[in-house]
Structure 1
Amino acid sequence: MSPSAEPTPEVALIDVTEAVLEQLLELALREADADEVTPPLGTAAGWNTDRISWFREFHRAAAAGLDGPARQKSWAIDCGGQLAGSIRLQWKGAEPTDAAGGGVAGGPGLPGGGAGAGGGLAVLTGVWAAADAGSGVTGGGVSVGGVSGGGVSGGGGLAGLTPGGAGSEAPPDAEAGGAGGAGLGSGGSDAAGGTLETGIWLARSFRGRGVGREALRLVKDRATSAGAAVLVADTTAGNVGALALLKSAGAELVAGAASDNATVPVKGRIPLR
């Protein structure tokens, strides 16, 4: 390793117990914008009671795992013994068929709205839009479809991590924040093995350090073990950090048409087979 190369951070994914959930919430309140982590909820700007309730409900629903009613799983991101953010996975469309040839039954999504831009942890569409490719880009997160609400679109992450439709959360982070317009979002389905969405958000003090890249690598392994053929996330053309993160994971990027506010959506598709 060259003298200028930064060491790979020690990152682990841990289950979100009730105790971890409260620590994650405290971290999000202190070091992430509400729009980077949750869908747009309530009338008051920023972290209001509706967003805080959604945050808790999202993670509690995801605790049942990918085989549970919400068809999603969230993890807290641990970096060197400290919580750094969160990342999630959620089934999109049909899951891989079981050994008997039948489809795996899915469940309803988290309460809330459907997939939509501007969401937060719809992850991982984005529950978590902050992504990190180690570039030091600060901003939003990844949003991947999911828990009631829109997708994450933060200033530096994968919009695909934010919840967007059937109970999702924001997608992997590119060392950014969350749903605030920079995240990764959702993608399509893959008939061969099923498609999982991911989303991610990172606390500001952990962005730009390669934490998002390592978390995305770990969640790719989880997606592969779950039998998925493809991992997807949505972001925007202006989210340099999220795009770099997706590229580092081998994602195929496809830009869509500009929206009314001139935002150009980008879909990332990471083959797992």
Structure 2
Amino acid sequence: MELQQVDEGNLEGLLAVAVDDAAPEEVMPPVAGPPGWTRERQGAFRNWHRARRPGLSGPLHESTFAITQDGKIVGSARLAVRDRPDVLEAGMWLARSKRGRGIGTAALRMLLDEAARSGARTVVADTKAHNTAALTALRRNGAQIITSQDTVEVHAALMPCEMPPPPPTANL
């Protein structure tokens, strides 16, 4: 698995996965109009990712990634500056056919590593209490889960930890 910064080279592939195997409300902010993947909604999807291309240091302070497995795009992940530069918010979606296979857990681990490389000390994620897949991925990555008794909202705080560099290889 790999996280690839979303660019023009993988944007259309990411959109194709979204259109073929996810609902618009699962992968992007709401767009007015009839339901489904309309031309307007597909354009909004492209524009949303293009606006985040400058990354965490850009004007939106947000970065998006294509999640790949065996070289094929299976979803998207994002990081956004939350309250301070060392606090990032994580978000993710996977194609419906790829859910329940541990991909979300592994992708979240890679996203946490990316957050650590960018200097984050804390990563937060928000989800719903019924999203068991997200809660499982968060728990498996050491999240502190905070629920509200009044709502179905769940807030999770994670501590990214930079993975140690691989040991040097011996020259033979």
TM-score greater than 0.5 by the shorter chain? yes
Alignment partners' CA distance in 2, 1:35 and 1:255: 23
Is the Cα contact below 8 Å between 1:42 and 1:48 reproduced in 2?
A: no
SS at match of 1:40: coil
In structure 1, runs of 5+ residues without a counterpart are 1-10, 96-193
Match of 1:14 in 2: 4
Mapping for residues 180-199 of structure 1, pairs under 5 Å: 194-199=86-91
Match of 2:52 in 1: 62
SS at match of 1:41: coil
Among candidates 60, 71, 74, match of residue 84 of structure 1: 74
Mapping for residues 41-56 of structure 1, pairs under 5 Å: 41-56=31-46
Q: Deviations over 1:95-130 (max 9, x none)?
A: 1xxxxxxxxxxxxxxxxxxxxxxxxxxxxxxxxxxx
Alignment partners' CA distance in 1, 2:40 and 2:138: 31
> Who wins on radius of gyration, i.e. which is larger?
2
Among candidates 149, 160, 163, match of residue 272 of structure 1: 160
TM-score (norm 2): 0.88
Alignment partners' CA distance in 2, 1:33 and 1:20: 19
Q: CA deviation at 1:46?
A: 2.0
Q: CA deviation at 1:257?
A: 4.0
TM-score (norm 1): 0.57
Give the number of the structure whose residues are more often strand, by fraction: 2
Is the Cα contact below 8 Å between 2:104 and 2:134 reproduced in 1?
A: no
Q: CA deviation at 1:265?
A: 0.5
- Write the letter of the residue equivalent to 2:28: T
Residue identity (%): 40
Match of 1:211 in 2: 103
Q: CA deviation at 1:51?
A: 2.4
Match of 1:200 in 2: 92
Is the Cα contact below 8 Å between 1:38 and 1:51 reproduced in 2?
A: no
Alignment partners' CA distance in 2, 1:226 and 1:83: 23
Q: How many positions carry a matched residue from both structures?
A: 161
Alignment partners' CA distance in 1, 2:64 and 2:101: 21
Match of 1:222 in 2: 114
Alignment partners' CA distance in 2, 1:87 and 1:224: 15
- Write the letter of the residue equivalent to 2:153: P
In structure 2, runs of 5+ residues without a counterpart are 162-172
Give the number of the structure whose residues are more often helix, by fraction: 2
